[in-house]
Structure 1
Amino acid sequence: MSEKSKNFIEQIIEGDIQKGKHGGAVRTRFPPEPNGYLHIGHAKAICLNFGVANDYNGTTNLRFDDTNPATEEEHYVESIKKDIQWLGYDWDDRLYFASDYFQQLYDYGMQLVEQGDAYVDDSSSEEIAAQKGTVTTPGINSPYRERTIEENRDLFQRMKNGEFEEGSRVLRARIDMAHPNMNMRDPLIYRIKNVPHHQSGDTWHIYPMYDFAHPVSDSIENITHSLCTLEFENHRPIYDWFLEKLGTFPSRQIEFARLNVNYTITSKRKLRRLVEECFVDGWDDPRMPTLSGMRRRGFTPASIRQFAGKVGVAKRDNVIDISLLEHCLRDDLNAKANRMMAILHPLKVVITNYPEDKVEWMEAENNPENEAAGIRKMPFSRELYIEREDFMEDPPKKYFRMTPGKHVRLKHGYILFCEKAIKDENGEVVEVHCTYAPDSKSGEDTSGIKVRGTLHYVEATHARQVEVRLYDRLFNVPIPDENPDVDYTTHINPESRKVLTEVMVEPELANAQPGEIFQFFRKGYFILDPDSTDEHLIFNQAVALRDSWAKMQKKKK
């Protein structure tokens, strides 16, 4: 790894190693809250935490920050574990929960009380907010701030025992109500919640706040480098204050820029609303930026890891063009996905001089980028389907597809000469009649006919009718939640999903397995949806073939 390529986090880690800090150990953690599904922003944090630990022979813990039982559920825990493993990372035997430390956290809270560094406050949430002041005016002390250690000890223990109503009391740190950092103005440490916990059941009636549970849990696990996104930068003084007052392992918090991608949102609260109000079909809807949705859409672990690597690690928040993410997916799938024929909007072609009872099986390469992919056989007969957009009766200049009086080649097939179009009573073309040149077979062409256009096709008698879902961006503006006064759901793209039910595909696709990805020739990459059955195959569009990001980068050069 060259000096030039090291990001600021790697530079910090290497500096610590050179100084012999923590014996040269590198221990990171990924601490998701189990109140929703992981999204593309989390993917960057996962790749960073597991990646730097791996690079420096360290370890990464998976620790669930399950300190708010009102919003957390076990199925979120399982989905998060599945997503991390799908990305290609493993925590081995280092799976932890903040709830594992509830007794230790309570004991540390009591230690702060005994030291005079924490007090029980009976103020309401509105009164506490008012006491904090503003960024330009100092806060005021709570009337309960000078309670004795004995009184605070008694009240905190009774809070734990469930003697008080929810919202009636909190435990606060005694720091400085005039501190310039408002987060340091006697922050909350514990609140009362008479809610059962998915891990600990009804054992606890008080739960620690994130700003307390986060640094102390890091310290309990001897985390050397606690990597957080920039929104926690102003919380670092609290992090350090707790560890200093408790005299525990000195974990270090380091902040990096979170990942923001245009035309999407990465707020779990806002994503949850999309699910609960049925703007989408669930957390794994292919239009969602969740890892489960992206997996169902056809994104691969390698493409997401490549994207995270290209985005890099920065100290300032910025917005990444979604075209880069799509480019990474195309780059990965190009060498992996087998090419198949699919006709999204079928138009029948009849080859009038081809024998009616004859079917030929043409050799077709599965992937020109991968010789090991081999070949397959695809049928060719008198009746075929082509894309409706590949035929025009009165085309413009430089139109090289099918049109009356012109030749065109069928990929892995023959050269056809278009004779005429057959129309219905409304004047719509429903069928095209052609003739073929028998000596123009692909790979054996001796016809001498020169053609400039090549079309894909699906043979009619062996074709399989399937459903295809075409996806576009979920939102039609680059930053949907930029204006807090405008409901971000008003920017949902009504054309974000189109369902085609009369798509014709070659028979080989009947053997596809859920999760298998293909390139539909000239159309894009598609994945077989897990809801598919043998009778009803559903293919989701992962990404189209166009690569606007790559073209844009080429122009810059």
Structure 2
Amino acid sequence: MADSKNFIEQIIDEELKEGGRVYGKKIHTRFPPEPNGYLHIGHAKALEIDFGTAEAYNGLCNLRMDDTNPTKEDEEYVEAIKEDIHWLGHDWDDRFFYASEYFEKMYEFAIELINKGLAYVCELTPDQMRDMRGDTKTPAVSPYRDRPIEESLDLFKRMRAGEFEDGKMTLRAKIDLASGNFNMRDPVIYRINHLPHHRTGTEWCIYPMYDFAHPIEDALEGITHSLCSLEFEAHRPLYDWVVNNISVECKPRQIEFARLGITHTVLSKRKLRAMIEAGIVSGWDDPRMPTLCGLRRRGYTPASIHNFSARNGVAKVNSVVDFAFLEYCLREDLNDHAQRAMAVLKPIKLIIDNYPEGQTEEFDVENNPKDENAGTRKVSFSRELWIEEEDFMEVPAPKYFRLFPGNEVRLKSAYVVKCVSCDHDAEGNVTAVHCTYDPDSRGGNTLDGRKIKSTIHWVDAKTAVDGEIRLYDRLFTTEQPDLADCNYLDFINPNSLEIIKGAKLEAFLADTKPSDRFQFLRTGYFCADSKDSTHDHLVFNRAVSLKDSYKPE
């Protein structure tokens, strides 16, 4: 139905009609990340729109590295971007490009503009240019605007030859110094930069500005719709000016959509890099980071990212979404698909005094009650078990229904046990809890009317394996750490990571592969750490807690 489509699709539908701008053409989009950092959750929305729009129309989507700025670009980021896109299930086939592949063509188009009297070499410094920019009532001033074409051609060629130092000259488009859109007041389209480029080395010392390069890249690749975030709306007249004044057949259309902000995080690559350099996080893939590689390492799934993006929709107005909604989407996916397991994070020994010493039995436990095809696994049970420290209180608090002297609880999928006593060390700390078990209560059998108010999980001490558990919380203590009038580093959460060593895990978890995901009963959803977890040193990251009060609108 037409009304179920987002505004971008509605525009495309109109343009595909007979007589429309792209009638009879294949829809062609592009995803153009700058390879100066890792993709984050904000990029995921743009990625989903670019690739998703093409897929919706059986069209094409290019992957293009926007490497027009040599300052912080690196091949490491290129490979990471490819991995993230593939992880989300998208592919570009053979349509992988670098903006730097078009440097020669961009240079030729700049020469074309100069020859047409539509560009000139300017010698104003950045400060001077800023001072002469004018205001809403005063036009800008450019003393080099009427420089002869031949002179600008000569200087521009000498700029390319490396005769001038950085900042000495720029090439500016000759448009309208009195425009109400300041992006059209003779914008700079080339600047001098003698830094080596990660692909072209020192071949070039002049580089095109994004607003000049991007429309050329789109036109050369035959892009029909250049989909970008809302901050480029004011740049659209310049985008159109470029493609309409150079000799290209394709005339792409730029359409802007709203960016996605998320509470309790920052999405500036500059700020994310600063946190890495300051040692606040361990790297781009730190599970507390909003990067796609960080979210993946923490335990997020492609489906949860897809659902999050889809439910937020494609809007024309910027918005900020509660981070809890992203967690909700993950929890919803893992609840349906994650295998269940028992893990005791802070263990204390439980000894069943009347259970035969040396005896072991097994229980069949469902791997995932939500999935009828998930099957069951065998869980071993013996006289000594591990339980959570918080599941026993020697002197119970009001309305505490777990283990305390004289109280009964059910051991998950096993027996009902009754606490009879506990052992202490020299300092008075509880070292072991003693219980008796009811042999007739195996596997949930009836108990002659006795009401058992609590069920706790456990791990067999004979077969348990040790593991390290990393509990992650939000990186910032405030909802909007990115406000312009504050320092985001002042709101770093000092408790964003808690490391628990010596957790006791079900034996089968020893064979866990990196990035395998589980629901640890009563504890949360966890993922085997893709970098640090090994067979001999198991490490699990908590992806998200088991429950949350958040409910989507």
Shorter-chain TM-score: which interval? over 0.9
Q: Does 1:527 align with 2:527?
A: yes
Q: CA deviation at 1:356?
A: 1.6
Q: Are the counterparts in 2 of residues 30 and 60 from structure 1 also a CA contact under 8 Å?
A: yes
Q: CA deviation at 1:133?
A: 2.2
Cα distance in 2, alignment partners of residues 286 and 418 from structure 1: 40
Cα distance in 2, alignment partners of residues 58 and 485 from structure 1: 44
> RMSD of the TM alignment (CA)?
1.4
Under a length normalisation based on structure 2, what TM-score does the superposition of the two structures give? 0.97
Cα distance in 2, alignment partners of residues 314 and 481 from structure 1: 22
* 1:397-436 → structure 2 map (5 Å cutoff): 397-436=398-437
Q: Are the counterparts in 2 of residues 348 and 432 from structure 1 also a CA contact under 8 Å?
A: yes
Q: Letter of the 1:83 partner, please give it.
A: D
3-state secondary structure, aligned to 1:4? helix
Q: Letter of the 1:8 partner, please give it.
A: F
Q: Letter of the 2:303 partner, please give it.
A: A
Cα distance in 1, alignment partners of residues 518 and 380 from structure 2: 19
Under a length normalisation based on structure 1, what TM-score does the superposition of the two structures give? 0.96
3-state secondary structure, aligned to 1:153? helix
Q: CA deviation at 1:205?
A: 1.2
3-state secondary structure, aligned to 1:548? coil
2:92 counterpart residue number: 91
Q: Letter of the 2:227 partner, please give it.
A: L
Q: Letter of the 1:438 partner, please give it.
A: P
Q: Does 1:13 align with 2:12?
A: yes
2:186 counterpart residue number: 186
Q: CA deviation at 1:397?
A: 4.0
Q: Letter of the 1:6 partner, please give it.
A: K
Of 19-28 and 534-543, more deviation after overlay is shown by 19-28
Q: CA deviation at 1:132?
A: 1.1
Cα distance in 2, alignment partners of residues 438 and 418 from structure 1: 15
Q: CA deviation at 1:365?
A: 1.0
Q: Letter of the 2:338 partner, please give it.
A: A
Of 36-45 and 241-250, more deviation after overlay is shown by 241-250
Runs of 5+ in structure 2 lacking a partner? none
Cα distance in 2, alignment partners of residues 272 and 12 from structure 1: 37
Cα distance in 2, alignment partners of residues 376 and 319 from structure 1: 43
Q: Are the counterparts in 2 of residues 17 and 25 from structure 1 also a CA contact under 8 Å?
A: no
Q: Residue deviations 1:51-91, cap 9 Å, x none? A: 11111111101111100011100000000011001000000
* 1:170-319 → structure 2 map (5 Å cutoff): 170-248=170-248, 249-319=250-320
Q: Are the counterparts in 1 of residues 134 and 141 from structure 2 also a CA contact under 8 Å?
A: no
Q: Are the counterparts in 2 of residues 416 and 436 from structure 1 also a CA contact under 8 Å?
A: yes
Q: Letter of the 1:66 partner, please give it.
A: D
Of 484-493 and 304-313, more deviation after overlay is shown by 484-493
Q: CA deviation at 1:396?
A: 3.7
Cα distance in 2, alignment partners of residues 283 and 481 from structure 1: 18
Q: Residue deviations 1:491-547, cap 9 Å, x none? A: 010010000012111111001000100100011110111221221111001000113
Q: CA deviation at 1:399?
A: 2.5
Q: CA deviation at 1:222?
A: 1.4
Identity between Structure 1 and Structure 2 (%): 54
Q: Are the counterparts in 1 of residues 140 and 185 from structure 2 also a CA contact under 8 Å?
A: no
Q: Are the counterparts in 2 of residues 18 and 24 from structure 1 also a CA contact under 8 Å?
A: no
Cα distance in 2, alignment partners of residues 3 and 429 from structure 1: 66
Q: CA deviation at 1:479?
A: 0.7
Q: Are the counterparts in 2 of residues 347 and 431 from structure 1 also a CA contact under 8 Å?
A: yes
Runs of 5+ in structure 1 lacking a partner? none
Cα distance in 2, alignment partners of residues 449 and 366 from structure 1: 28
Cα distance in 2, alignment partners of residues 284 and 126 from structure 1: 38
Q: Letter of the 1:15 partner, please give it.
A: E
3-state secondary structure, aligned to 1:335? helix
Q: Does 1:103 align with 2:104?
A: yes
Cα distance in 2, alignment partners of residues 138 and 157 from structure 1: 33
Q: Are the counterparts in 2 of residues 323 and 549 from structure 1 also a CA contact under 8 Å?
A: yes
Q: CA deviation at 1:445?
A: 5.4
* 1:473-488 → structure 2 map (5 Å cutoff): 473-482=474-483, 484-488=484-488
3-state secondary structure, aligned to 2:427? coil
Q: Residue deviations 1:380-405, cap 9 Å, x none? A: 11111111111122324432211211
3-state secondary structure, aligned to 1:270? helix
Q: Letter of the 2:464 partner, please give it.
A: A
Q: CA deviation at 1:360?
A: 1.3
3-state secondary structure, aligned to 1:500? strand
Q: Letter of the 1:171 partner, please give it.
A: L
Cα distance in 1, alignment partners of residues 476 and 439 from structure 2: 50
3-state secondary structure, aligned to 1:508? helix
Q: CA deviation at 1:449?
A: 4.1
Cα distance in 1, alignment partners of residues 537 and 60 from structure 2: 45
Q: Residue deviations 1:128-153, cap 9 Å, x none? A: 1111123x343432222111000000
3-state secondary structure, aligned to 1:372? coil
3-state secondary structure, aligned to 2:381? strand
Cα distance in 1, alignment partners of residues 190 and 239 from structure 2: 15
3-state secondary structure, aligned to 1:339? strand
Q: CA deviation at 1:275?
A: 1.3
Of 473-482 and 390-399, more deviation after overlay is shown by 390-399
1:28 counterpart residue number: 29
Q: Are the counterparts in 1 of residues 415 and 444 from structure 2 also a CA contact under 8 Å?
A: no
Q: Letter of the 1:127 partner, please give it.
A: Q
Q: Are the counterparts in 2 of residues 62 and 95 from structure 1 also a CA contact under 8 Å?
A: yes
1:154 counterpart residue number: 154
In the alignment of these two chains, the number of paired residues is 549
Q: Are the counterparts in 1 of residues 145 and 174 from structure 2 also a CA contact under 8 Å?
A: yes
1:492 counterpart residue number: 492
Q: Letter of the 1:211 partner, please give it.
A: D
Of 289-298 and 380-389, more deviation after overlay is shown by 380-389
